[in-house]
Structure 1
C-alpha cells in the first residue's frame, strides 16, 4: 500500500526532480546569459528614463505651450466674433423696434383717417337721407294736391 501510495499520490519526488532539472538548466546551461540580458534591459530602461523621457517631456511642454497659445488665440477670435454678433443682433433688434413703432404710428394714423372718412361718409349719408325725406315729403304734398282733385 505504501508503494502504491507513493507511486500514485506522492508527487514530491517528481516535483523535486523537475526543480533540480530547472535549476540545472537555468544555472549550468544558460549561465549568466539571462543575468546579462536583465542587466541590459535595466540599463536601457535607465537610459530611457534619464534621456528619452526628459526629451519627450520637454517636447511635450513645448507642444502644449504652442497648443495653449493657439487655443487662447482662437478663444480671443471667438469672443470678438460673439461680440460682433451680439452688436449686430442688437442693431437688428433696434431696427426692428423702430420699424414696429413706425408701423404702429402709421396704423394709428390710418385708423384716425378712417374714422374721419367714416364721419364724412356718415354725414353725407345723413344729408342724403335728409334730402330724400324732404323730396319724398314734397312729393307726398304734391301727391296730396293731385289726389284731392
Structure 2
C-alpha cells in the first residue's frame, strides 16, 4: 500500500504539479532578459547621457548666446519703435490743437449725422416693404388655408 501511495504521489506530482517546469522557464526568462536586455538598456542610457552632456556643453551655451543677441536686438528695435510712436502722438496732439483740424472734424461730424439720417430713412423704407411683404404672404397663406379647408371637407 505504501508503494501505491508513493506511485500515486509521483504521478500526481508529474501531472498536476508544474512548479519545477515553471521555475525552469522563469529562470531561463530572467537570465535572457537580464543578460541581453540589460546591455541594450545600458547602451541606450549611455547614448542618452552623452547626448545630454553634448547638449549642455555645446548647444545650450550657443542657444543662450544667440537668444541674448536676438533679445538685445529686439529690445533696441522696440525702443526705436516706442520713440517713433511717441513722436507721432506728439504730432497728432499738435495737429488736434489747430483750428484747421477742428473745422475738418466738425465737417466730418455733420457728414456723419447726415449719413445716419439717410440710413435711418432707408431702414424705415425697408421696414415698410418688409411689413407689406409679410402682409401679402399672410393673406396668400390664409387663402391657401381656406382652399385647403374646402378640398379637405370633400
Q: TM-score, normalised by structure 2?
A: 0.45
Larger relative contact order (C-alpha < 8 A, sep ≥ 6)?
A: 2
